[in-house]
Structure 1
């Protein structure tokens, strides 16, 4: 009697194929829906904020839009970007026909302990690089002045709450949805990593060649770490710490948050320091994940089980058959996983 081989476990970039309902067109349709719904949601929220600001008497700028001021205006911008999180999660669930958490990691959830370790790894590296950037000679512009605690305190509180949401939204969009959408069609992770990195850089605008290259390096490194660790935690950790320190130093000086410059406008000196910090962070994450490897792959979906077989299977094991993944017991049921050694290291230790 011959048995058919078990389906291979799936790495992060291939998780769009996790659903037994996967079809080649779902990633393409999903990408269009994500872009459309996100645009509509951001436009609607912007109009709501603009109408509310007009009623509250905020001044209007030359283009007719309400000017909320540096702190409130930054908060509005961060909130508009954070809308990407629910948009991606809903697209994964409704269009991808798989659990929404599979865009977070191969375990179907965000691994908070791993995220905390990544944040702690990024903090000293990014802090040193930020100090190095601040010590670079300037072009002799206006000297920066301390904004005072009455300005910096509320701004810092706002940034601590909203910057992690903004950075996570960008990761869910680029390292999450786009990586898995391309990965559904390409086996090699590089075909999924490179396009999202270029689109990520382009989304920040066109500044200097050096700034664009810096963003591509960040996107490639974050994408590779996502594939290497099996989830978005490493990318979110670096992105959140980097943006929080950047916004924090800007909020500490008078009118620092008014600047329209982004990472795309960075000169080569800043880019050189930033690239070194990105590579150091990646090396540090690789080093400690070798000692405590997280799960890097998810069990592939089993083929559908005929109703008669499923009915007889459930009473024997005490585990009802999952309606989402046919033939697989529901999460939490006392049944051993079909692929106990699917992840590198054999378990989610991080």
Structure 2
């Protein structure tokens, strides 16, 4: 079982605390140096006034969108490298056991997770475009788009993998061992995942109601991980969501400003369009996955105890 794999590694609470500090330092500070340098070179002393206003979006807008996109994702790549080092050096845990309870990574599950969200996003965007063509402008330019596609294919999986290994892997396994149950890490990592996005420009534009979407997405990915005993579905789903989103559509108020195919120029509103995906679409995704991979024993997998392997084996024999 996925969470119990942490018992095979060095799982003292202080290791997770030190590991989290190391990863945060690498991700935000070391990983952010190239982005800061690029903005400084472009803006010079003017950056001080924007820094006082805490206007990160304006800072990024001085850069070419593809360069800004690459440098933002580079931060996550550095964080992922640091996290893998923490796994190996601080916890003595193989990356496979941080990924899945299976004997090897199931790439079929990865691509299934990718495909289900990619298909949904494309279909939903086409329908939205047909219903509200006045809300979109054609943003496609061949050369910038091809550069964007290359950056996205290489860097987006590093960004999404960092978030999955950190929240559904590192934190979920660590909190599972410390709390001795599964519901606490599921809820806690979902809230933390939502909090990670609190400084996104979407929150400033739409208000805190969008946190329902972010926390709900974290909960969806956490349920996938616990029910399937591995990160493969969550890794693929997160990658598909961010990749297709970056290539297909952008807006002036989103975190990723890209040379995408479409630009949404409508005035965004926060309401049912944020809540409905969480309460209707996400359960449908889980239903499809549950039928495909024959998930059962939901109560135990989502709310059961996290026990050392020897105790787990004894309780099963009893």
User: TM-score band, normalised by the shorter chain?
Assistant: 0.7 to 0.9
1:12 to 2:16 alignment: no
**How has the CA–CA distance of structure 1 residues 161 and 258 changed in structure 2, closer, same or farther, with 3 Å as cutoff?**
farther
How far residue 187 of structure 1 moved from its aligned partner, in angstroms, is: 2.5
How far residue 194 of structure 1 moved from its aligned partner, in angstroms, is: 0.9
Higher-Rg structure is 1
Return structure 1 stretches of 4+ with deviation > 6 angstroms. Answer: 299-302
**How has the CA–CA distance of structure 1 residues 188 and 136 changed in structure 2, closer, same or farther, with 3 Å as cutoff?**
farther
Q: Deviations over 1:200-244 (max 9, x none)?
A: 111112512331001111001101111111111111111111111
**How has the CA–CA distance of structure 1 residues 103 and 15 changed in structure 2, closer, same or farther, with 3 Å as cutoff?**
same
How far residue 102 of structure 1 moved from its aligned partner, in angstroms, is: 1.5
Cα separation, 2, equivalents of 1:269 and 1:133: 15
Q: Deviations over 1:131-157 (max 9, x none)?
A: 45556759x87x523332233222223
**How has the CA–CA distance of structure 1 residues 96 and 190 changed in structure 2, closer, same or farther, with 3 Å as cutoff?**
same
How far residue 301 of structure 1 moved from its aligned partner, in angstroms, is: 6.4
User: Which runs of 5 or more residues in structure 2 are unaligned?
Assistant: 49-58, 257-267, 302-306
| Structure with higher helix content | 2
Is the contact made by 1:125 and 1:280 (CA closer than 8 Å) also made in structure 2? no
Q: Which residue of 1 aligns with 2:270?
A: 267
Equivalent position to 1:32, from 18, 21, 24: 21
Is the contact made by 1:123 and 1:241 (CA closer than 8 Å) also made in structure 2? yes
Equivalent position to 1:290, from 289, 294, 310: 294
Q: Which residue of 1 aligns with 2:285?
A: 281
Moved more, 73-82 or 219-228: 73-82
- Normalising to structure 2: TM-score of the pair? 0.74
Is the contact made by 1:247 and 1:257 (CA closer than 8 Å) also made in structure 2? no
User: Which runs of 5 or more residues in structure 1 are unaligned?
Assistant: 1-10, 251-255, 303-338, 343-350
Count of paired positions: 276
Q: Which residue of 2 aligns with 1:211?
A: 210
Instruction: Map residues 177-256 of structure 1 onto 2, 5 A cutoff.
Output: 177-205=170-198, 207=203, 208-250=207-249, 256=250
Instruction: Map residues 302-341 of structure 1 onto 2, 5 A cutoff.
Output: none
Is the contact made by 2:11 and 2:174 (CA closer than 8 Å) also made in structure 1? no
Cα separation, 2, equivalents of 1:180 and 1:145: 44
Instruction: Map residues 103-142 of structure 1 onto 2, 5 A cutoff.
Output: 103-107=98-102, 109-132=104-127, 134=129
How far residue 160 of structure 1 moved from its aligned partner, in angstroms, is: 2.2
Superposition RMSD on alpha carbons, in Å? 3.4
1:63 to 2:67 alignment: no
- Normalising to structure 1: TM-score of the pair? 0.68
